[in-house]
Structure formats: C-alpha cells, structure tokens
C-alpha cells in the first residue's frame, strides 16, 4: 500500500527531487510551500506522514508543528539546515517524532518514514487493550486514556509508553529504550530521550518526585510502576 506523505518546505527543487526518488519506495509525496498551505492539506488529505521544514517563510516549522498537534497525531519528521541539538530538543518537546538535518540522503529519509510507519502498524495489529491502574492503553487505536481522558499522545510518545507498559517492573536502560524506539535519531549525549520521557510524564500527570508511572532509577534507567505509588 502506498504511503501518502506531505512535504511542507519552500524548496521547490527538493520537493521535485524527493517526489521522484520516493516513488520507487512506494511513497507518494505531495508538497506545500508554506505552513498555512500545509495545515490545509493535512486537514483535507489526512497524510500518513508529514515532513516539516523548520525554516519556513512566515510561521516557522515549530509553530506549525504545535498547530498540527492540536488536532492530529500524524507522524512528523522535522527537517532543518541548522542541525543544532537545541532545535532537535525543541522539536521533540512540541511533538515531533523524528528529526533529520539537511542535507540528507533521500534513502535515509525513506528509511525514517518506513520505520515510523512500521512501528505504528506493528502496534495497531496487536489489537490489545491494556489497563494499568487508572491508565488505559488502546494499542489498536494507538491511544491512551487516564481516568477516561484522552492523553493525546504523539506517535513517539505512544511508542515510548508501549515500551514501558510491555516491560513493566523492568528497569529499561537508556540504551535499551533507544533500541526499542529504533528509527529515531538518538544520541546518548543529547537530551532528546530525557525530553521524551519528561513530556510523557507531563501528559500522564506524573510527579517525578513521587511517581505513579515512571520512576527514574539513578545510573540505571527508567522503571514503569504501572500506576502504583513508589514506596522506595
């Protein structure tokens, strides 16, 4: 089945190049040259994945990503020519699923798109409904609820939650968690993984000092408590 992808970038030559190249991987590409046009196309066509340039005319990619996350959990890969760690952290904080600095190899972009969508499909076909205290995780719909309220998780946040839930009671080291979330560009020396866990905690309403869900084990990693109070 063809993957429908939307590129929001004002570089017309890049759009033409990627449209032709990605076709060989069964990835169809439509383009928008600014954020407003991109938002309209997201609402109209409901793409499988969005490629979002940071340096857009008018509203930048970070602002557009925030708008997307108000209504959609579509996978978002941020593209930028700056390639700074701070940009990557900001992108993850506002809900991006992956980050690719320019210039990049089109083959790597294709692999990133495929990896993101494989994770979503692998989770969806399991069709499981998992209950952890007042937290309910619906794998088939890729949604999570706490006390009946939709947590509105991004794709990457949901993948991280599933990794924790499936390994409840087991300390996941940073390396192990990065392996479970393979497909994203993780670097042990940057804050990307910590930002992801912090954002997930916020949506769970979890206090890191008195956690019910995610406990940081100093020097070891993270432990999913399953909704119980941490008594240690």
Judge if 41 and 65 occupy the same domain. yes
Contacts by 23-29 with C-beta closer than 8 Å and gap 24+? 25/110, 25/114, 26/1, 26/2, 27/2, 27/3, 27/110, 27/113, 27/114, 28/2, 28/3, 28/4, 29/5
As a whole number of angstroms, the distance between CA 190 and CA 85 comes to: 7
Task: Provide the domain limits for residue 140.
Answer: 126-224
The answer to whether residue 57 sits within a structural domain is yes
The answer to whether residue 230 sits within a structural domain is no
Judge if 130 and 114 occupy the same domain. no
pLDDT at 125: 43
The answer to whether residue 229 sits within a structural domain is no
Of the residues 87, 122, 157, the one at which a domain ends: 122
Judge if 212 and 186 occupy the same domain. yes
The answer to whether residue 155 sits within a structural domain is yes
Judge if 92 and 136 occupy the same domain. no
Of the residues 65, 92, 122, the one at which a domain ends: 122
Judge if 48 and 87 occupy the same domain. yes
Judge if 191 and 113 occupy the same domain. no
The answer to whether residue 232 sits within a structural domain is no
The CATH code of the domain that includes 16 is 3.40.50.2300
The answer to whether residue 231 sits within a structural domain is no
pLDDT at 231: 45
pLDDT at 228: 58
Judge if 185 and 91 occupy the same domain. no
- Report the Cα–Cα distance between both ends of the chain, in Å, rounded: 49
As a whole number of angstroms, the distance between CA 228 and CA 49 comes to: 36
Q: What is the pLDDT along the chain (232 residues), one digit of tens a residue?
A: 789 999 999 999 999 999 999 999 999 999 999 999 999 999 999 899 999 999 999 999 999 999 998 888 888 999 987 656 677 777 777 888 888 888 899 999 999 898 888 766 554 445 567 788 788 888 877 889 998 899 998 888 888 998 888 887 788 888 888 877 765 455 544 567 888 889 899 999 988 888 888 998 888 889 888 765 554 4
pLDDT at 1: 73
The CATH code of the domain that includes 198 is 1.10.10.10
Of the residues 122, 155, 180, the one at which a domain ends: 122
Judge if 92 and 167 occupy the same domain. no
Judge if 86 and 28 occupy the same domain. yes
As a whole number of angstroms, the distance between CA 42 and CA 47 comes to: 6
Chain centroid, CA 65 distance in Å: 11
pLDDT at 84: 65
Judge if 115 and 9 occupy the same domain. yes
Judge if 140 and 96 occupy the same domain. no
For residue 73, what is the enclosing H or E element? none
Judge if 176 and 194 occupy the same domain. yes
Report the domain count for the chain.
Answer: 2
Which residues have CB under 8 Å from 209's CB, separation 6+?
none
As a whole number of angstroms, the distance between CA 195 and CA 75 comes to: 17
């Amino acid at each position: 089945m063809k993957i429908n992808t939307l590129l929001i970038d004002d570089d017309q030559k890049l759009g033409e190049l990627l449209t032709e190249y990605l076709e060989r991987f069964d990835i169809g590409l439509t383009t928008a040259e600014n954020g407003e046009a991109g938002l309209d196309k997201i609402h109209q066509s409901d793409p499988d994945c969005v490629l979002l340039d940071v340096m857009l005319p008018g509203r930048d990619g970070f602002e557009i990503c925030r708008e997307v996350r108000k209504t959609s959990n579509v996978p978002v890969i941020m593209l930028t020519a700056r390639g700074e760690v701070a940009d990557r952290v900001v992108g993850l904080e506002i809900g991006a699923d992956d980050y690719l600095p320019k210039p990049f190899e089109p083959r790597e972009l294709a692999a990133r798109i495929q990896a993101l969508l494989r994770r979503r499909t692998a989770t969806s076909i399991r069709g499981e409904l998992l209950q952890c205290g007042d937290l309910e995780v619906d794998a088939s719909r890729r949604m999570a609820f706490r006390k009946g309220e939709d947590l509105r998780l991004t794709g990457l946040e949901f993948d991280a939650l599933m990794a924790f839930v499936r390994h409840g009671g087991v300390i996941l080291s940073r390396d192990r968690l990065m392996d479970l979330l393979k497909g994203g560009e993780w670097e042990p020396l940057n804050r990307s993984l910590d930002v992801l866990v912090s954002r997930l905690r916020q949506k769970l309403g979890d206090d890191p000092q008195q956690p019910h869900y995610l406990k940081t084990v100093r020097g070891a990693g993270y432990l999913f408590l399953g909704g119980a109070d941490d008594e240690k």
